[in-house]
Structure 1
C-alpha cells in the first residue's frame, strides 16, 4: 500500500529507478534520436543519471530540496546537448519549490512537478505539438493535478500521470518537429517518436513505481 506522502527516501528511490530505466532503454532512446537528432540522447541521459546515482550513493541528501538540486546540478554538469540543461532545470526548479522538507503531500509533489515543467518552458519555450519532451510532460502534470483534485491518492494520481505521459509520447509520432535538431528535418521528422518525450515517460513511470512501492 502506497504512502499518502512522498518521503525523501521515496524521492531518492524514484531517481534511482529513473536512472536504471534510462540505462535499460539507452539503446532505444539512442535509436529514436538517431532518426531525428544527434543519436546521443540515450548515451547522454545514461551518463548523466549514472553520475547522479554515484553522487547520491556517496552522500545522501538530508532534505528534498537538497536531493533534487543535487540531481539537477549533476545533470547540468554531466549531460551534453539539450537534455542536461532541460532535465537539470526541471529538477532544480522542483527543489526550489519543495523547500527543506522530509516529506511531500500530494499537493506539494504536484506543485514541484508543475514548477519543473514551468522551468523547462522558460528555458526551451516549447509548446504543445512541437514534438518535444513537453508533449509528454505537460499532459502528465495536468493529469496529476486533475487526479488529485478529484480525490485520487498519490499512487492513483502518479499512475494517471504516467499514462498521460505515454499517451503524449505516442502522439509525437506523426508530428513534424518545430523545435531543436529534429526541426531541421522538416516533414521527414514525422513518423518518429520524440526521444525527449520517451525519456520523460520513463520519468513519470518510475515516479509511479516508486510511490506504489513506498
Structure 2
C-alpha cells in the first residue's frame, strides 16, 4: 500500500490527520504533566509550613560614628543613609548622642544637649526628639530608637497558631525606613564665669547611628 492509497478518500484523510496529531500531542502531554501537577499542588494558595514552627532572625548591622565639638547654642546636622539589601528588613534604627562634662567647677554648671530628627525624606517613619545632660559621671546625652518593624526584639520564638505565610506577613518592615535619616543636635553650655573669661565654653559630642537588619528564618520546630 502506497501513500496514495491512504488518502484516496475523505475519510482516510481524516483518519490519517487524526493519527498524526495524536502521535505529536500525546508525548508532549506526558512530558509536561508532572510540572502541571507540581504547579497545582504548590500554587499561589499554598500557606507554606504549618504546625509548630521555630521563628528566628539572622541579624546584621551598619553604623556611622562621628565626633563634633559645639559651643553654646551651636548646632550640628548628622546624616545617615539607610540602604537595605534584598531579602532583608529593618528591625530598628537608633541614634545615640554621648557627652561627658568633666571640666565644670561644680553643680549648676552641667552642659546639656538636645536633638530632633528630620525624616521628611524617609517614608513611614515619624520624627522624634530627646535631650539629656552631659553628666560628669558618664552616660550623658540621649538615645532615640525607631522600631521600623513593630515589636521587633530579635528574639526567636515558637509559633503554634500561624502558618508560614501569616508569619511572613507579620514580620516584615513594609519597605519603609529607606533613605537619608537626619538629626540636628544643639549644645547648651553652662560656663562658669571667671576673671578674664569663662571656664568650659564648649563640649565634645559622640554621635552614633545604628541600623539593625534581619532575615526572617522559619523552620519546623524539632521534637
Please give the TM-score of this superposition, normalised by the length of structure 2: 0.24
Kindly indicate which of the two structures has a greater share of residues assigned to strand.
2
Please give the TM-score of this superposition, normalised by the length of structure 1: 0.25
Rg larger in 1 or in 2?
2
Does 1 or 2 have the higher relative contact order (CA < 8 Å, sep 6+)? 2
Kindly indicate which of the two structures has a greater share of residues assigned to helix.
1
